[in-house]
Amino acid sequence: MSGPVITLFRRDLRLADNPALAAAVATGQPVICLFVLDDETARPFGGASRWWLHHSLVDLDRALRACGGALILRRGATVDVVADVARTTGTTALYLARRYEPWAADQENALKSRLEPEGVSVRRFGGTLLSDPDAMRTGQGGPFKVFTPFYRAVLKAVPPTQPVLAPTTVPAPADLPDGDDLDTWALLPRTPDWAGGLCETWTPGAAGAHDRLDSFVDAALNTYETGRDVPGIDGTSALSPHLHFGEISPRQARARLCFAADRQPETATGAAAVERQLVWRDFAHYLLHHWPTLPDTPFRPEYASFPWYDDPVALKAWQRGHTGFPLVDAGMRQLWHTGWMHNRVRMVVASFLVKHLMIPWQAGEAWFWDTLVDADLANNAANWQWVAGCGADAAPYFRVFNPILQSQKFDPRGVYLRRWLPELAALSDKQIHRPWAVPPLELAEAGITLGKTYPEPIVTHEAGRARALAAFQAWREGAS
């Protein structure tokens, strides 16, 4: 009898629409389902992601056990661990889903060159994205650098298709290799346990992903186009961590949207708009695949000489939500409490960091990496670079978001601000966006002492904007 097949789970923590798992089961051989916690050859997970990962692995193991399988957990460098499991179990093949982080691509190449000479075939499958980054090329044959033509090309090349169903059985080998006890990985915070807000907000795992998508489709898909910019309502899917960990595939999400649009035509515009966001996700991964330095290095190389500031005090104020700008502070506190932030607010807080404070986008990327439950190398880097003006198809640096106007426009009644900044709740809808402009008597009536109960602005909008534009101008002149 032939030996087992290893399915290596990385960020595809689901049974359904998982081509690598489906192919492994279809061999008829026993399947070893393996997850490796690799802090050696991958960028280590941030704190919030570790919390998510713990719960997602519990869920995946439960789902596999219900099909007769089990999830084997090991820790170490992926290639060494997989080679060891393959050798000790007589494995004949390794199946895995392709990923696009530079380290993941390196792992895939290293697995091939290590295992194949030992008689273990290595097969890579899709499923992480809607489109294959190697297949998408401009008319001239080069990689896309602009989103809209990429978007059109994806829609043309990749029509919606039906996801693959979950296997009903995942036959495990009689002698399962040993694995670690998940608790020994200590992925959950203990002292202090800061994850209370995450527990209240999320249900990691495939069932949680599908429940969230169903609720979004029922409650908000028909208003997504306008609602997606309003941070005070649940106007977006909040699927991003589920997609990041692969608890739901983008094809499954797209199929659900198409189904809704067919059945309820009033949701068709919203469904197309969410599909467009899924293609933004593909685009970020596409950029990372073709430009692997994206997480650290400006996509537009001239920005390497941009005169950023090193300002640890301002960085800390931004991280803690103590800038004195309510929309920025509310966003940073939503992030700290829930591990997630609304997209409109992400753009505002990111712009504030790189423009008003002139702190390098890499510092913001690193903070998001640690605190977001959806921290994703491709999406995070591509979006930070977009805001900083140095990315592909980016907003130019001189376009500076005004955090006061953004707040007035997208949270006019202060719903989002009051949720995350209860200390400002007593201000009127008009005042809450600019507490520093409120007369002292009215501030006192609202129980606010600037500098004590709520910070003074660490920079004024006008001064921050002027400083950023002057630096940009001087840098451009120096560079030309």
384 to each of 68, 281, 341, 344, 346, how far by Cα in Å? 43, 14, 14, 13, 9
- Which region, judged by CB under 6 A, interacts with ligand FAD, from 39-47, 109-117, 280-288, 451-459? 280-288
Taking the CA atoms of 296, 297, 298 and 303 in sequence, report the sign of the dihedral they define: positive
Determine, following the binding rule CB under 6 A, whether residue 56 of this chain makes contact with ligand FAD: no
- Which region, judged by CB under 6 A, interacts with ligand FAD, from 155-163, 369-377, 429-437, 449-457? 369-377
- Which region, judged by CB under 6 A, interacts with ligand FAD, from 106-114, 276-284, 412-420, 461-469? 276-284
Determine, following the binding rule CB under 6 A, whether residue 314 of this chain makes contact with ligand FAD: no
Read off the DSSP letter of residue 450. Answer: B
Residue from 42, 287, 332, 347 binding ligand FAD (CB under 6 A): 347
Residue 333 Cβ, how far from ligand FAD at the closest point, in Å? 16
Phi/psi of residue 221, each to 5°? -65, -35
Please classify residue 148 by burial: count the beta carbons closer than 10 Å to its beta carbon, then call 0-12 exposed, 13-18 middle and 19+ buried. Answer: exposed
Q: 402: which 2 tokens?
A: 């005004």
For residues 277 and 344, give the distance between their C-alpha atoms in angstroms, rounded to a whole number: 13
For residues 268 and 210, give the distance between their C-alpha atoms in angstroms, rounded to a whole number: 19
In the block, which residue shows the tokens 């913001």?
Answer: 364
DSSP state string for 18-72: -HHHHHHHHT-S-EEEEEEE-SSSSPPPPHHHHHHHHHHHHHHHHHHHHTT--EE
Q: List alpha helices for 93-146, DSSP H.
A: 102-115
Determine, following the binding rule CB under 6 A, whether residue 277 of this chain makes contact with ligand FAD: yes
Q: Which is nearer to ligand FAD, 71 or 213 (CB)?
A: 213
In the block, which residue shows the tokens 């089961």?
Answer: 25
The size of the interface with ligand FAD (CB under 6 A), counted in residues, is 28
Residue 456 Cβ, how far from ligand FAD at the closest point, in Å? 25
Q: Which is nearer to ligand FAD, 180 or 393 (CB)?
A: 393
Determine, following the binding rule CB under 6 A, whether residue 271 of this chain makes contact with ligand FAD: no
Angle subtended by helix axes 312-320 and 361-371, to nearest 10: 40
Amino acid of residue 31:
V
Question: Which residues fall within 8 angstroms of residue 426, CB to CB, at 6 or more apart?
Answer: 445, 446, 447, 448
Please classify residue 76 by burial: count the beta carbons closer than 10 Å to its beta carbon, then call 0-12 exposed, 13-18 middle and 19+ buried. Answer: middle
Q: Which is nearer to ligand FAD, 125 or 384 (CB)?
A: 384
- Which region, judged by CB under 6 A, interacts with ligand FAD, from 151-159, 178-186, 312-320, 375-383? 375-383
- Which region, judged by CB under 6 A, interacts with ligand FAD, from 75-83, 160-168, 277-285, 444-452? 277-285
Q: Which is nearer to ligand FAD, 187 or 213 (CB)?
A: 213
Question: Which residues fall within 8 angstroms of residue 35, CB to CB, at 6 or more apart?
Answer: 8, 9, 10, 13, 57, 60, 71, 72, 73, 74
Site for ligand FAD in 201-260 (CB under 6 A): 228, 236-240, 243-244
Determine, following the binding rule CB under 6 A, whether residue 16 of this chain makes contact with ligand FAD: no
Determine, following the binding rule CB under 6 A, whether residue 327 of this chain makes contact with ligand FAD: no
Number of H helices, E strands in the chain: 20, 5
- Which region, judged by CB under 6 A, interacts with ligand FAD, from 346-354, 415-423, 433-441, 465-473? 346-354
- Which region, judged by CB under 6 A, interacts with ligand FAD, from 144-152, 324-332, 340-348, 398-406? 340-348
Residue 335 Cβ, how far from ligand FAD at the closest point, in Å? 10
Determine, following the binding rule CB under 6 A, whether residue 281 of this chain makes contact with ligand FAD: yes
Angle at 316 between CA 311 and CA 318, to 5 degrees: 95
Q: Which is nearer to ligand FAD, 212 or 461 (CB)?
A: 212
Site string for ligand FAD, 382-401 (x = CB under 6 A): -xx--x--------------
Residue from 252, 379, 406, 431 binding ligand FAD (CB under 6 A): 379
Binding site for ligand FAD (CB under 6 A): 228, 236-240, 243-244, 274, 277-278, 280-281, 284, 343, 346-347, 350, 368, 372, 374-376, 379-380, 383-384, 387
